[in-house]
Amino acid sequence: MKNQSKNIVNPVYTILAIIAGISLLIIALATAYYLVVYLPKKDIQKLDYEKKQKQEQLDTNKQQYDTCLLKAAVTYHENWLSRCKANNIRVTKNENGNDTCFMLDTVSKPVTDNYNTNKEACLKIYQAN
C-alpha cells in the first residue's frame, strides 16, 4: 500500500511541474513580446507623433515669419510713399504697376533703416521660436 501512494504522488508532482514549467514559459514569452515588440512599436509611434508636432510648429513659425516680413514690406512701401509726398517728390508707377518715387539716400535713410529694423525683429521672433 505504501508503494501505491508513492506511485500516485509522483504523477501529481510531475503534472504540477509540467504546469509550472508551461506557466513560466508563457510568462517569459509574454514578457519577451512586451519588451521586443510592443515597447519599440510604442516608442516609434511616440517619436513619429513628436516629429509631426515639431514639423507643424516649424511650418507655423515659418508662416508667421513670412507674414511678418510681408507686413514689414507693406509698411516700408507705405512709409516710402508718405516720405515722397511729404517732400513733394513726384510719385510714378514702376514696371509692376506699383506707386514709387526716387529719393536721395539722405531722405530715404530713415524709411530704409526702419524697414531693416522691422526685418531684423521678424528674424529674432522666428529664431526665438
Per the structure block, which three cell numbers stand in for 42? 510604442
Per the structure block, which three cell numbers stand in for 127? 529664431
- Give pLDDT tens digits for 6-40: 556 678 888 989 999 999 999 999 999 999 999 99
Q: What is the pTM of this model?
A: 0.62
d(CA 49, CA 52): 5
Helix (H, G, I), strand (E, B) or coil at 21: helix
- Give pLDDT tens digits for 57-101: 999 999 999 999 999 999 999 999 999 999 898 988 888 888 888
For Cα atoms 59, 71, 111, give the angle at the middle one, nearest 5 degrees: 135
Please enumerate in sequence order all residues whose Cβ is within 8 A of that of 91, keeping only pairs 6 or more positions apart, or say none: 81, 84, 85, 99, 100, 101
Per the structure block, which three cell numbers stand in for 58? 516649424
